[in-house]
Amino acid sequence: MHSASAGQQPQARNTGTDLKAGTPRSVPALLQVRELTKDFDVSRPWLNRMIERSPRQLLRAVDHISFEIERGETLSLVGESGCGKSTVARLICGLYAPTDGSIRFDGVDLATITKRSDMLAVRRRFQMIFQDPYASLNPRWSVERIIAEPIRSHAIVKGDAAIRERVAKLLSDVGMAPSDARKYPHEFSGGQRQRISIARALSSSAEFLVCDEPTSALDVSVQAQILNLMKDLQREHGLTYLFISHNLAVVSHISTRVGVMYLGRIVEIAPTKTLFQRPLHPYTRMLESAIPDITMSGKARTPVAGEVPNPLNPPTGCTFNPRCPFAREKCRVDRPELLPFDGARVACHGVHEGWVPVEVVRQAPDHLA
Amino acid sequence: MTAPLLEVRHLRVEFNTRRGTLVAVDDVSFEIAPGEVLGVVGESGAGKSITGTAIIGLLERPGRIAGGEIRLEGERIDNLPGEAMRRIRGRRIGAIFQDPLTSLNPLYTIGHQIVETIQAHLPMNHAEARRRAIELLGEVGIPAPERRIDHYPHQFSGGMRQRVVIALALCANPRLIIADEPTTALDVSIQAQIIQLLKRLGREHGTAVMLITHDMGVIAETADRVAVMYAGRIVEIGPVQQVIHDPQHPYTTGLMGSIPAVGQDTERLPQIEGSMPRLDAIPPGCPFNPRCPRVFDRCRVERPDLLQANRTLAACWLHAPERKAPGAGRDWSEGAVHA
């Protein structure tokens, strides 16, 4: 059922209703991703292949993943490096072309748009925020020019005075002074630069922001400022976020729902509370027990074994089986599908067949008193 | 109490630049006992790495130690000539850096590098050194060390490489290891493994560790005591539980509050407004005063020393004996925070 072919009557399918059981649906989700796949060609150069007779080699970075994002919510994708989470972000923003699968934004399949003007109209509605605020702003441009670029290219407002006014408004929205417009990126700290990136992303009146590790390069106190800002802006402008991060604590703070990725697949997706109170997939549990938690100071925690296998040669069956404490023969042969389980969706034979015990690991908020 | 292994007194590190002298580390004093893990936390630019580099004598120009002293087992090491310092480095103080790739030479097998290091410090022949290298690799948790020893750095994953670097640091059984962000470049699950390893080694060998990191979680799990640095100074130092659960300096309180925790049910994180001052614009008095929610007149003119505050030492006038302000750390939420 999960692997029903993409694209056939997409509106009629139970798009996400298994996640929020019983929620009546009239409008389709803002973003619907179906069976999205991306292969990278990592073969040796042509001449080497001819001489050494080695075959083409493909690395499957994203492996048939499906999810959707409702208006106004924040979906986070977490996982360790190399799990494909950033590739998903780039696929959605059109920085990579998908190998297979479809991406629908507001009901429109992005692959079917052929006219440039139509594409621009859609692209205006989503923007990206990158990890490194030092690399993502042009050092030779003034802040005003950086923020005004999307306004000009999408012709949101016309006339220099109007544009300047809008830039000033955007700057104050992200907590900076309108006079900062005349300065250059090097005059700002990392946190302020990230605010400029956010102002730029909002300048085309985007509704949907793809944020790839937006706070990973920042210090904790600045991270708190940016996370608060993102939440405020979401409320004020009704924004929808796809949030990519490796930091589970940040994710638990900002998300409505969380998807956990491992070797290019989503292994579990659930509302944030559910995921952190009752992680189902053994990998999710492992990740959670691995977070250094300042509240459990001094206590021993479950040791975590092994490392992510080579994605060029992933294990058969469930890709997590070599590290999984519950793995059985079936896990080495059969690839588990992402199926609904009590308010979540999880790809694990053990959970669905009942031989992996399900336990609640967190009762109530256990932050510092 | 036993004599401290490392003693740092009034350490001051300056950088001479064309635009004047910048003070990166200002009057920093602390001790590390044998077998103790001291965490040093702070945001980027707080001076924590510079402190570590100064101790192992690897400060690069234009940086220089402009004052204070550093003693290892009672012996002054901050004014030693290069050659003498080189013998201490590796033999008595080991170092682990953030990026395991840059700490290893890509052209030599890891065995070659470990054997070379062992022979540089200990009187061992090649066969003995190799045996010890295999032993060390096994100890830091590298599977099949007798085979892996002949592999090159690129054949190891990030986590395994960091284990090799730790084995390198342990070669000569140093009394102190300075670990500068040893887990920052690693994924959480690998990070947890490395933390466990550092803890175990400290326990088994009685090695003291100075753990420099910006990650409070790592400190909480590993350290016995923690020093919080801000703008080149230690603002609070004390037992890790005390500093985390009952911080006495408003900066520490703000820092702890701004860390998101899993399962925490808050709409907004408490945040400290502004950012740390640049080295050329450190305000007079307490360097935290422009951001401090509990600032008063004295903070703007007079610089506080570390004062006894509950069970930690905090550089904050709130703890001046004539002004008893109980629970300085706990009033943060009462209107002081911009929520």
Is residue A11's pLDDT more than 60? no
Min Cα separation A283/chain B (Å): 10
Min Cα separation B158/chain A (Å): 10
CA dihedral A149, A153, A159, A165 (to 10 degrees): -40
pLDDT tens digits, B150-171? 999 988 888 888 889 999 998 8
Contact: A221, B271; criterion CB under 8 Å: yes
Contact: A287, B188; criterion CB under 8 Å: yes
CB contact A249 to B (< 8 Å): yes
Stretch(es) of chain B classified as CATH 3.40.50.300: 6-223
Which long-range contacts link A356-362 to residues 24+ away (Cβ below 8 Å)?
A356/A280, A356/A282, A356/A326, A358/A278, A358/A280, A359/A278, A360/A277, A360/A278, A361/A277, A361/A278, A361/A279, A361/A285, A361/A288, A362/A276, A362/A277, A362/B262, A362/B263
* Nearest residue in chain B measured CA to CA from A247: B188
| pLDDT value, residue B324 | 54
The strand pair at A208-212 and A58-69 is best described as unpaired
pLDDT tens digits, B183-202? 887 777 778 888 888 888 88
Is residue B334's pLDDT more than 80? no
Stretch 189-228 of chain A: residues touching chain B, C-beta under 8 Å: 189, 191-192, 219-225, 227-228
B269 burial via Cβ count (<10 Å: 0-12, 13-18, 19+): buried
Is residue A339's pLDDT more than 70? yes
What is the topology classification, in CATH, of domain B6-223? Rossmann fold (3.40.50)
Alpha helices (H) in A305-365, listed in sequence order: 329-333, 349-353
| Chain B residues touching residue A367 (CB < 8 angstroms) | 261, 263-266
* Nearest residue in chain B measured CA to CA from A277: B263
Alpha carbons B152 and A28: distance in angstroms, whole number: 53
Is residue A103's pLDDT more than 50? yes
Task: State which H helix or E strand residue B202 sits in.
Answer: helix B188-205
CB contact A81 to B (< 8 Å): yes
Q: Please choose, from the candidates B187, B166, B255, the residue with its C-alpha nearest in 3D space to the C-alpha of residue B219.
A: B255
| pLDDT value, residue B28 | 95
Mean pLDDT for A105-127 is: 88
Min Cα separation B14/chain A (Å): 22
* Nearest residue in chain B measured CA to CA from A216: B184
Ramachandran angles phi, psi of B6, nearest 5°: -125, 135
| Chain A residues touching residue B160 (CB < 8 angstroms) | 307
Contact: A253, B269; criterion CB under 8 Å: yes
| pLDDT value, residue B337 | 39
Mean pLDDT for B121-139 is: 92
pLDDT tens digits, A53-84? 888 888 899 999 999 999 999 999 998 888 88
Of A80, A276, A304, nearest to B262 by CB-CB distance is A276
Residue from A80, A220, A225 whose CB has the most chain B CBs within 10 Å, to mutate = A220
Count other C-beta atoms under 10 Å from residue A78's C-beta: 26
Identify which has the larger pLDDT, B158 or B179: B179
Q: Please choose, from the candidates A68, A155, A73, A157, the residue with its C-alpha nearest in 3D space to the C-alpha of residue A107.
A: A68
Of A224, A288, A367, nearest to B258 by CB-CB distance is A224
Is residue B335's pLDDT more than 50? no
Q: What percent of chain A has pLDDT over 70?
A: 87
CB contact B43 to A (< 8 Å): yes
**pLDDT-based confidence at B37, cuts 50/70/90?**
very high
Q: Which residues pair with A62 in a beta bridge?
A: A38
CA atoms within 13 A on the CB side of B64: 8
Q: What is the 3-state secondary structure (H, E, C) of A165-191?
A: HHHHHHHHHCCCCHHHHHCCHHHCCHH
Is residue B328's pLDDT more than 50? no
| pLDDT value, residue B156 | 86
Buried b (16+ CB within 10 A) or exposed e, B143-165: eebeebbeebbeebebbbbbbbb
Is residue B116's pLDDT more than 90? yes
Classify B276 as helix, strand or coil. Answer: coil
| pLDDT value, residue A147 | 94
Cα dihedral sign, A125-A131-A134-A136: negative
Count other C-beta atoms under 10 Å from residue A230's C-beta: 23
| pLDDT value, residue A15 | 41
Alpha carbons B291 and B235: distance in angstroms, whole number: 14
Listed in order, strand segments (DSSP E) in chain A are 31-41, 58-69, 74-78, 100-105, 108-109, 126-129, 208-212, 240-245, 257-262, 265-271, 339-341, 344-346
| Chain B residues touching residue A227 (CB < 8 angstroms) | 260, 269
Is residue A299's pLDDT more than 60? no
Mean pLDDT for B46-53 is: 91
Alpha carbons B202 and B222: distance in angstroms, whole number: 10
| Chain B residues touching residue A219 (CB < 8 angstroms) | 43-44, 214, 275-276
| pLDDT value, residue A366 | 44
Contact: B264, A367; criterion CB under 8 Å: yes
Is residue B265's pLDDT more than 50? yes
| pLDDT value, residue A365 | 46
CB contact A3 to B (< 8 Å): no
The structure tokens 């707080």 sit at B46
**pLDDT-based confidence at A367, cuts 50/70/90?**
very low
> What is the average pLDDT score of chain A?
85
Mean pLDDT for B12-41 is: 92
CB contact B100 to A (< 8 Å): no
Contact: B260, A292; criterion CB under 8 Å: no
Is residue A111's pLDDT more than 50? yes
Of A189, A366, A369, nearest to B263 by CB-CB distance is A366
B155 Cβ contact partners less than 8 Å away, ≥ 6 residues apart = none
Identify which has the larger pLDDT, A274 or B45: A274
Specify the DSSP class assigned to residue A321.
G
| Chain A residues touching residue B192 (CB < 8 angstroms) | 289-290, 292, 301, 303-304
Mean pLDDT for A182-190 is: 90
Is residue B117's pLDDT more than 70? yes
Contact A27, A123 (CB under 8 A): no
The verdict on ipTM greater than 0.90 is no
Task: State which H helix or E strand residue A226 sits in.
Answer: helix A220-237
Contact: A294, B258; criterion CB under 8 Å: no
The strand pair at B20-32 and B6-17 is best described as antiparallel
Contact: B271, A219; criterion CB under 8 Å: no
Distance of CA A264 to the CA centre of its chain: 12
| pLDDT value, residue B165 | 92
Contact B48, B41 (CB under 8 A): yes
Alpha carbons B180 and B36: distance in angstroms, whole number: 16
- Write the CA distances from B49 to A13, B41, B305, integer angstroms: 55, 10, 22
Of A246, A364, A365, nearest to B188 by CB-CB distance is A246
Contact B68, B55 (CB under 8 A): no
CB contact A324 to B (< 8 Å): no
Residues belonging to chain B: 339
Is residue A247's pLDDT more than 60? yes
| Chain A residues touching residue B260 (CB < 8 angstroms) | 223-224, 227, 249-250, 252-253
Q: What angle do CA B241, B243, B245 make, to 5 degrees?
A: 60
| Chain B residues touching residue A248 (CB < 8 angstroms) | 188, 262
| Chain B residues touching residue A192 (CB < 8 angstroms) | 275
Q: Please choose, from the candidates A336, A292, A112, A217, the residue with its C-alpha nearest in 3D space to the C-alpha of residue B262.
A: A292
| pLDDT value, residue A87 | 92
What is the reported pTM?
0.82
CB contact A283 to B (< 8 Å): no
